[in-house]
Structure 1
């Protein structure tokens, strides 16, 4: 089995950190039981609270793509889209 690792590099607008973190705290327990979700960990920079990294592991790319279509992810994105400065998603494979 080839596990898909997702690293999401997120920069929040400085005055929007708390609302975005609250939305992520709501989202995480909804994602963890999804089929194929092996890991879904959010990290915050110790010196820059507006910089987050998500580390995700999925059983397959197809299951991750299914996750990307969920209603709870769409609701999170709608609630935070205007609060995010930048988002870069990396699809990776562990060597």
Structure 2
């Protein structure tokens, strides 16, 4: 099983709109073959000196059975439509594909 952590950096003031688009998309993604989880996360407002702050980001935590499933997900028509829908609100996307340490 692969773990994906994606940071979606959005324009200031646009996070809630992008989050709403992700929430509408989530049920469809969860029905995809090989999808174990698909969860948006937000930066916790905590004032501690050791914590990174990303108030304009949405972090996606995803689990996929294989790289093939993840690649198929990226090519799904609903994902292409989603990316087109939010493209004017997104500044950058950083995607990390991780596997368990042996």
TM-score (structure 1 length as normaliser)? 0.90
1:82 deviation in Å? 1.5
For 1:36, the equivalent position in structure 2 comes to 34
1:92 deviation in Å? 0.7
- Structure 1 unaligned segments of length 5 or more: list them: none
Q: Which has the larger radius of gyration?
A: 2
Of 48-57 and 6-15, more deviation after overlay is shown by 48-57
User: Which runs of structure 1 show a deviation greater than 2 angstroms over 4 or more consecutive aligned residues?
Assistant: 46-49
TM-score (structure 2 length as normaliser)? 0.84
Q: Which has the higher helix share?
A: 1
C-alpha root-mean-square deviation of aligned residues, in Å? 1.2
- Structure 2 unaligned segments of length 5 or more: list them: 46-53
User: Helix, strand or coil: the match of 1:38?
Assistant: strand
